[in-house]
Structure 1
Amino acid sequence: MAQGKFRNELTADENLDVLEEPGRKQPSDSPTPCLESDPPDGGLVAWTTAFGCFLMQIGGHGYSNSFGVYQDFYTRIYLTDQSPSTISWIAALSSFITSSLTLISGRLYDRGWFYHLVIVGSLLQSLALFALSFAKPGQLYMIFIFQGVLIGFAMGLTYGPCIAVIAQHFTKRRTFVMCLVTSGSPLGGIIHPIMLNHLLNGTAGFARGVRISAGFVSVLLLISCLSMRTRALSTPATSYSTVARKCSRDVPYMLMVSGILLAQIGFHFPIYYLQLDSIKHGISKHFSFYSISILNAASVIGRCTAGIIAPYTGLLNLTIASNAACGVIIISMIALSNIPSVVVIGIAYGYFSGVYIAMLTPLLTMVTPDLSELGARMGISFTVTAFGGLLSGPISGALLSPHYRWLIPSIFDGIICLVGSLVLVVMRLVINRQR
């Protein structure tokens, strides 16, 4: 009986269906594997692909993680006639398009369009960044088009496929490798903010600074596209309507998506506003410029260690705990007043947010019994949760107001993250009941 109780805990072994009990015989109509053979779980091609995905995370989402630098720069210098809430719509729109476009890119990935997606997406991101450098002070519409819309489209084409392709090459190591790959995002969030702060606020200025960073990102994306490879699918991709019907009847899946949606509303507050918060509290600009890099450095550690911790705690348990910790830390931002408080908040939030983000794709993969549907399921979940990211920055900016009242957005965003954790707890109870 004791052994049976321990079996109720979710493990990180993706070879088991999330609702499967040990020793239970699978039904005859269970989905067939989507690959011609079982993934090799390693090898030169697999690790080279993982490296390419890692670089794409640095150049893609890693760059978007540096928006706190742009938020501060636009608010104080470049778009002084706009409120923080209005400016935050740039990142919010980009994040929304990135996530919602996986509804299309995920489907195309399932149909074997991986190379088309990553090449077109990489070219579009490179061109959009170079075009951004031509925006002049006060030209909000141009910045919205290039940094909000075009970069959002570019990352929407590449993000889902370059994570999903890991499932084609790894089985037992899948969670660990996915965590390593996604650590490229906060690593980029260390590199890009330091570079951008010195370029935008230094002698280079906005135009030259953005062009230099665009060149750096373009090199990363080029190497990434040359490194990644796919393995052939042996089963035809299921139609989106079929996958959507399956998802609508999958209660744990629906609860997972709902919980992540709520958490996303509050999740981005420290990422967008920590640097501005630090400067507005009288902390030196020289130190404040490193606040986002501190957060992302801790996030790298969080994402790398998540794959090690998950087999002992279970994917869902670790997701719940890390998201709840993020909510508590966001509320604690009301105590930010000096350098030590910025360091503590940056490290703590960076670590637990890194663990939380690292768990999402492996958790989604684990609740997907047929990997030929992974791209479609990823697209559906990312599209729904994208609305949380769309609302995150603007709601926080509106609550912050032009008077910079930090108490209200800190409490609101922290509580909404905790509510998301509670929904995931309900998901946990439903899974236990179904077992």
Structure 2
Amino acid sequence: MKSNLHTIPPIDPVALGMGEPTPAWTARGTVAYQRISIALFLAGFATFSLLYCVQPLLPAFSSEFGIGAAQSSLALSLSTGLLAFSILCAGALSERAGRRGLMFASMTLAAVFNLVAAAAPSWHAILLARALEGFSLGGVPAVAMAYLAEEIHPNGLGLSMGLYVGGTAFGGMAGRVGMSIIAEYFSWRVAMTMIGVIDIAAAIAFVLLLPQSKNFVRTATFNGRQHMRSWGRHLSHPRLPIVFAIGCLVMGIFVTIYNYASFRLIAPPFNLTTTETGLIFSAYVFGIVASSWAGALADRLGRGPVLAAGSIIITLGLVLTLSHSLIAVITGIVVMTIGFFTAHSVASGWVGRMAQGAKGHASSLYLLAYYLGSSILGSAGGWFWQKHGWTSVIEFTCVLVAMSLGLSLVLWRKPVHFQPAST
């Protein structure tokens, strides 16, 4: 039987006197494309299941350690904050150390720190372990996006990026729902231990599946000035900083809603149990579908209109959560989740298309903004919850989504480097 493992044959422009060789892209529909997609799905799963496994445990932390909602959110905010800055270091390091090995090491080390957090004897020890876990994870997100942008043919990049984001959605859902159920019937420490073990296994499967890079060019030495120039070039791009800002805003909205919805739903008039509240995080299933759908649709219609649509969908979801009907609140969370993953999938894919060289640096800047949105804006949402309640949280997030929509419309009117996929 003939193997289906192949890449699109490159035309060598050097032989024609036209410049640099065309990259040996991996084509959509090949075995190599499928292996890359599955491996990066696992990377997304591990990253988000480790990062957000504490989110449904925030009320439990508040009760056990005698702290408020905003303080308990530090178990997540410290991880995402340290992750944001480590992404810059990891993106630069991957230019010398390589993509595949760095992602594997980061996934494994982060899972080990999650096991340490599960056994930590005090609140401050948990925060330290979670901070180190977030810093360790920096080697996955930016490098994964850069790997896809370098290896996947542009006509299939939207779908592959959507599948990676779908993996983050599945990991986020599995972490949240699984932790809620296990914590109620056993303990939050048992739940965190199980997530750590599962993600060590995911890291092993990842490294066995992912092919070595074909288009990655390793730098011979670490050059700090060169990295600064690369970051500066992306920040001076006419459109990339707008995409970075959108990533920051939509992530801030998403984390704020998921952080404090649990506090609202376990209180009157809903009075849900931990397990019942955790099951609401199954809304991530819709995020998995939406991210893949949005990525493929953006390849055909253009990223601007799909990105703007994501912000509009988020707004509809936020408004629905104001209801005192449990069904309406759950529907609102589902709709908001669909809008978030639509926007994030398109924005992350657009970074790879816009960046001209040093794609790892561009990806790291996007994810720096993305996780700073999770850390800073997510913590700010806790202040609104403690001082003014759910209505104030929604007002805060509606301001953020209005800003995101405005920036999306700017990109829609003046798109950069978009070429529709062939049918």
8 Å CA contact 1:46, 1:169 repeated in 2: no
Partner in structure 2 of residue 287 of structure 1: 276
C-alpha displacement of 1:430: 4.3
Residue 188 of structure 1 deviates from its aligned partner by 1.8
- Give, in angstroms, the shift of residue 41 of structure 1: 4.1
- Maintained 8 Å contact 1:262/1:417: yes
Q: Distance in 1 between matches of 2:75 and 2:391?
A: 23
- What secondary structure does 2:73 align onto? helix
Of residues 142, 145, 157, the one that matches 1:174 is 157
Q: 1:152 to 1:256 in 2, by over 3 A?
A: same
State the partner residue of 1:414. 398
The whole-number CA distance in structure 2 between the counterparts of 1:290 and 1:218 is 24
**Aligned equivalents of 2:69, 2:278: Cα separation in 1:** 18
- 2-side partners of 1:34 and 1:157: how far apart? 27
Percent of aligned pairs with the same amino acid? 12
The answer to whether residue 173 in structure 2 is matched with residue 190 in structure 1 is yes
Report the Cα offset of residue 296 of structure 1: 0.9
Is the 1:102–1:156 Cα contact (8 Å) retained in structure 2?
Answer: yes
CA distance in 2 between counterparts of 1:326 and 1:350 reads 7
User: What are the residue-to-residue correspondences of 1:241-390 with 2, within 5 Å?
Assistant: 241-283=228-270, 284-285=272-273, 286-293=275-282, 295-335=283-323, 337-370=324-357, 373-390=358-375
Alignment partners' CA distance in 2, 1:323 and 1:362: 16
Q: Count residues with an aligned counterpart.
A: 396
* Contact 1:67-1:272 within 8 A present in 2 as well: no
- Aligned partner of 1:418: which letter? A
Aligned in 2, Cα 1:56/1:209: closer, same or farther, shift over 3 Å? same
Would the alpha carbon gap of residues 170 and 78 (structure 1) be closer, same or farther in structure 2, given more than 3 Å must change? Answer: same
1:399 maps to 2:399: no
Q: Distance between the aligned counterparts of 1:31 and 1:397, measured in 2?
A: 54
Measured in 1, the distance between the counterparts of 2:117 and 2:22 equals 41
1:146-167 deviations in whole A, cap 9, x for unaligned? 12x1221122111221232223
User: Would you say the 8 A contact 2:113–2:132 is kept in 1?
Assistant: yes
Which 5+ residue runs of structure 1 have no aligned equivalent?
Answer: 1-29
After the TM superposition, which residues 183-222 of structure 1 pair with which residues of structure 2 at under 5 Å, given as runs?
183-202=166-185, 204-222=186-204
Deviation at 1:235, TM superposition (A): 5.2
Q: Greater RCO between the two (CA within 8 Å, min separation 6)?
A: 1
> Partners of 2:338 and 2:400 in 1: how far apart?
19
The whole-number CA distance in structure 1 between the counterparts of 2:304 and 2:243 is 9
> Could you say if the C-alpha distance between residues 326 and 361 of structure 1 is closer, same or farther in structure 2, counting changes exceeding 3 Å?
same
Deviation (angstroms), 1:135: 2.5
Asked if the contact 1:291/1:342 (under 8 Å) is kept, the reply is no
Map of 2:3 onto structure 1? none
Aligned residue type for 1:359: V
* Aligned equivalents of 1:427, 1:163: Cα separation in 2: 21
Q: 1:259 to 1:181 in 2, by over 3 A?
A: closer
Q: Which amino acid aligns with 2:376?
A: L
What secondary structure is seen at the aligned counterpart in 2 of 1:369?
Answer: coil
Match of 1:83 among 65, 68, 80: 68
Residues in 2 aligned to 1:363 and 1:267: alpha-carbon distance in whole angstroms: 20
| Structure 2 match to 1:159 | 141
Q: Report the CA distance shift for 1:31/1:58 in structure 2 as closer, same or farther (over 3 A).
A: farther
Choose which of 213, 218, 222 in structure 2 pairs with 1:231. Answer: 213
Deviates more, 1:259-268 or 1:274-283: 259-268
**1:260–1:354 distance in 2 versus 1, CA, 3 Å:** closer
Q: CA deviation at 1:104?
A: 1.7
Q: Give the TM-score taking structure 2 as reference length.
A: 0.85
Pairwise CA distance, 1:369? 2.9
Distance 1:317 1:33, change over 3 A: farther
The match for 1:20 is none
Residues 34 and 234 in structure 1, CA contact (< 8 A), matched pair in contact too = no
- Cα 1:33–1:260, aligned 2, differ >3 Å: closer, same or farther? farther
Aligned to 1:113: 98
CA shift digits 1:262-308 (9 cap, x unpaired) = 44433321221222222124323143231112x21211121121123
Note closer, same or farther for the CA distance 1:31–1:41 as it changes in structure 2 (3 Å cut). Answer: farther
Deviates more, 1:121-130 or 1:265-274: 265-274
The answer as to whether partners of 2:290 and 2:338 remain within 8 angstroms in 1 is: yes
Q: Is the 8 A contact 1:65 1:271 kept in 2?
A: no
Q: Which amino acid aligns with 1:163?
A: M
Q: 1:244 to 1:185 in 2, by over 3 A?
A: closer
Secondary structure of 2:35 counterpart: helix
- The residue aligned with 1:97 is 82
Residue 424 and residue 199 in structure 1: after superposition, are their counterparts in 2 closer, same or farther (change >3 A)? same
Flag structure 2 segments of 5+ consecutive residues without an equivalent: 1-17, 417-423
Distance 2:22 2:85 in 1: 24
CA pair 230-343 structure 1, distance change in 2 beyond 3 A? same
What is the match of residue 11 of structure 1? none
